[in-house]
Amino acid sequence: MSLRQRLVPYWLLGPGLLWLIVFFVVPMYFMGELALRSGSLTTGFTFTWEWSNLPASLSGHTEQIVRSFYYAGAATVLALLIAYPLAYAIAFRAGRFKLLLLFAVIAPFFTTYLIRTIAWKTILSDSSPLVGVLQTLTLVPPDGRVLATSGAVIAGLTYNFLPFMILPLYANLERLDLRLIEAAKDLYSSSRQAFLKVTLPLTMPGIVAGVLLTFIPAFGDYINAQLLGGTQQAMVGNVIQSLYLTQRDYPEAAALSFLMMALILAVVTVYIRFAGTGAFMGGKDEGTTDG
Amino acid sequence: MVDSKSPGGPPMAAAARGWAWLRRNALPIYAGFAVAYMLVPIVVIAVFSFGDTPRDKLTFGLNDGFTLEYWRTAFSIPELNDALFTSLRLAALSTAISTAIGTLMAIALVRHRFRGRRAANLLIVIPMATPEVVIGASLLSMFIYSSFALGFSTLLIAHVMFSISFVVVVVRSRLIGFDRNLEEAAADLGATPLATFRTVTLPLLAPGIVAAALLAFALSIDDFVISNFSSGTTVTFPLYVYGVSLRGIPVQVNALATMLFAVTVIAISLVLIQQRRAERMAAVRPEAIRPEAAAARAT
């Protein structure tokens, strides 16, 4: 192969990689540098290798970090419980309504994220009939609220990231070879056994991808906590946003962002190691998150 | 409720039948509820766009009945119009740039084996796995210290950046199922590489590219978090909505959101119909389209 031919892929990749390096990698470096500065907005921030910013941002916001894990985790579990049967029904039971149902599932994407969250705020507001029904069913105390509670934030997160769970699950289920389930039944397994021993392991890649695609954005989200929660429901995202844009305490904000990124990377690595397809199939890990 | 006083009697049998039916159809019923849940806010937004609710508070229900007032005056708020126009311009530009760049990257990654391919893949995947707030924060960190003036250009930079990865993923999935024999056939028939690319590769890739562009457009027009960090004083549609949400949103926003929803649904339906028709055309023989041709041949 001539040199010219060997350079072709680099020419094709060039513009995109350059864009990603200059506007994704380099900003990360700037954020890291900012996280190690000290000073205040009035005196200016100077770079002093201020490593103490990192533990300080952790101990100062432990409450919000723990809460983010709790909310995002709960939303991910709920989304999985809602999405799996739905994706299964669309893949195998929808018949000619398949396309229409898929359309309905991604329909929320066609309205602005903020506007649909505001719609939930209206639905969950104190005077809404839904809250009245919940009160009659004594799920909510008679004078209780739904808005500005953890439940409201978790419900909002679940709703907003549900399509991210449904789509990979559907893509995975759709490709499932139904003959394998038939084979299991021919070999006298019950429906439950066939599901647990054939369908579930084979759809593990979809579950892993869906969980990651739901958990990561939910963990970093601050819109739901801001619109549906009260002051007691702030998540890490809310703190970062307010430190950056309102209080302008850039070093602390940058340190907290870095910490958040590190936490997510750690969780994702551990998760892929243990819940990756390898653990279930007895083979080597197949790196399921990619494309 | 179930009448359990007469065991074995008709009510019991009916209850058993009902229970059996419920068991058999549990999955579709569950799925129906789930789909309804997905659609609730959209319905609420649409219904509210016709409702004459007091402007200053968020109440539930149509207080004073049905009105078309807010659809008529949907474009009568200047700041809202500006924001919408900025969003459309931003989305169009960022879609054009990210689709072009991303398609080239996808071609390189699928068609070529080269040094650094894994690293390139990683660089494409990581932004998708990064929380938006971190992307926004890091961009702002850079803009602050390189004294970049925040505004439309920084918004465009950010939007192209977060769209590229999605474009690559979508186009790549189309490229993987690509029949390369068709390109070889074109080359055998004397087409230059450029002509082959233009007349064979590009048309076959088109559905993937269109899907990628639609996704990039949707991502851009909907983005709030990253825009919030990189906008300066420029206001996009989501930023406008956020700004007014603190003091009560004008009902016109609901009308516009419904309009936007309808336009998107129609656009996507058209693309889908067009693709289906193209696939059907490719699958049928001439006789199926022109029955008289088949009839002529038969006689």
Shortest Cα–Cα distance, B243 to chain A (Å): 11
pLDDT value at A132 more than 80:
no
What pLDDT is attached to residue B250?
81
> How many angstroms separate the CA atoms of A157 and B157, rounded?
28
Is A72 an interface residue toward B (CB < 8 Å)? Answer: no
Maximum mean pLDDT: which of A167-181, B65-79, B158-172: B158-172
Interface test with B, best of A17, A81, A115, A221 (most B CBs within 10 A): A115
Cβ distance of B108 and A127 shorter than 8 Å: no
What pLDDT is attached to residue B282?
65
Of residues A250, B231, B261, the one with CA closest to residue B242: B231
Cβ distance of A122 and B48 shorter than 8 Å: yes
pLDDT band at A224 (very low <50, low <70, confident <90, very high): very high
Cβ distance of B111 and A28 shorter than 8 Å: no
Name the average pLDDT for chain B: 81
Interface test with A, best of B142, B251, B265 (most A CBs within 10 A): B142
What pLDDT is attached to residue A1?
65
> Percent of chain B beyond pLDDT 70?
86
Phi, psi of A45 (to 5 degrees): -100, 130
Cβ distance of A26 and B142 shorter than 8 Å: yes
Average pLDDT score over residue span A76-92: 91
3-state secondary structure chain A: CCHHHHHHHHHHHHHHHHHHHHHHHHHHHHHHHHHCEEEECCCEEEECCCCCHHHHHHHHCHHHHHHHHHHHHHHHHHHHHHHHHHHHHHHHCCHHHHHHHHHHHHHHHHCCHHHHHHHHHHHCCCCCHHHHHHHHCCCCCCCCCCCCCHHHHHHHHHHHHHHHHHHHHHHHHHCCCHHHHHHHHHCCCCHHHHHHHHHHHHCHHHHHHHHHHHHHHHHHCCHHHHHHCCHHHCCHHHHHHHHHHHHCCHHHHHHHHHHHHHHHHHHHHHHHHHHCHHHHHCCCCCCCCCC
Question: Looking at the partner chain, which of B58, B131, B237 has a beta carbon nearest the beta carbon of A216?
Answer: B131
pLDDT value at B98 more than 90:
yes
pLDDT value at B112 more than 70:
yes
Average pLDDT score over residue span A169-196: 85
Cβ distance of B108 and A9 shorter than 8 Å: yes
Q: Which residue segments constitute the domains of chain B, with CATH numbers given?
A: 10-69 (no CATH), 78-249 (1.10.3720.10)
> How many angstroms separate the CA atoms of A236 and A222, rounded?
8
Please report residues of A whose CB lies closer than 8 A to that of B154: none
Please report residues of B whose CB lies closer than 8 A to that of A125: 58-60
pLDDT tens-digit series, residues A232-259: 888 989 999 888 888 888 888 889 998 8
Q: Give me the residues of A, 94-133, that contact B with CB < 8 A.
A: 99, 101, 103-105, 107-116, 118-123, 125, 127-129
pLDDT band at B296 (very low <50, low <70, confident <90, very high): low
Cβ distance of B38 and A108 shorter than 8 Å: yes
Say how many CB pairs under 8 Å bridge A and B.
244
Of residues A107, A263, A159, A274, the one with CA closest to residue A207: A274
Name the average pLDDT for chain A: 83
Cβ distance of A86 and B34 shorter than 8 Å: yes
pLDDT value at B162 more than 80:
yes
Please, how many CA atoms are within 13 Å of residue A36, restricted to the half-sphere of its CB?
9
Burial label for B259, CB within 10 Å (0-12, 13-18, 19+), is middle
Considering only A258-267, B61-70, B203-212, which range has the smallest mean pLDDT? B61-70
Maximum mean pLDDT: which of A221-230, A275-284, B240-249: A221-230
pLDDT value at A108 more than 60:
yes
Residue in chain B closest to A113 (alpha carbons) equals B222
What pLDDT is attached to residue B290?
52
Question: Looking at the partner chain, which of A10, A127, A289 has a beta carbon nearest the beta carbon of B59?
Answer: A127
pLDDT band at A92 (very low <50, low <70, confident <90, very high): confident
Residue in chain A closest to B167 (alpha carbons) equals A16
Considering only A148-157, B26-35, B78-87, B129-138, which range has the smallest mean pLDDT? B26-35
Average pLDDT score over residue span B24-41: 85
Residue in chain B closest to A124 (alpha carbons) equals B60
pLDDT band at A282 (very low <50, low <70, confident <90, very high): very low
The answer to whether the complex's ipTM is over 0.95 is no
Phi, psi of B275 (to 5 degrees): -65, -40
What pLDDT is attached to residue B129?
82
Return the CATH number of the domain spanning residue range A62-281: 1.10.3720.10
Is A69 an interface residue toward B (CB < 8 Å)? Answer: no
What pLDDT is attached to residue B90?
94
pLDDT value at B299 more than 70:
no
Average pLDDT score over residue span B169-198: 85
Considering only A16-20, A219-223, B113-117, which range has the smallest mean pLDDT? B113-117
Cβ distance of A223 and B224 shorter than 8 Å: yes
pLDDT band at B293 (very low <50, low <70, confident <90, very high): low
Considering only A90-104, A165-179, B76-90, which range has the smallest mean pLDDT? A90-104
> Percent of chain A beyond pLDDT 90?
21
> Percent of chain B beyond pLDDT 90?
20
What pLDDT is attached to residue B157?
94
CB B252 within 8 A of CB B244: no
What pLDDT is attached to residue A276?
57
pLDDT value at B10 more than 70:
no
Token pair listed for B108: 């390189």
Please report residues of A whose CB lies closer than 8 A to that of B111: 9
Is A165 an interface residue toward B (CB < 8 Å)? Answer: no
pLDDT band at B4 (very low <50, low <70, confident <90, very high): very low
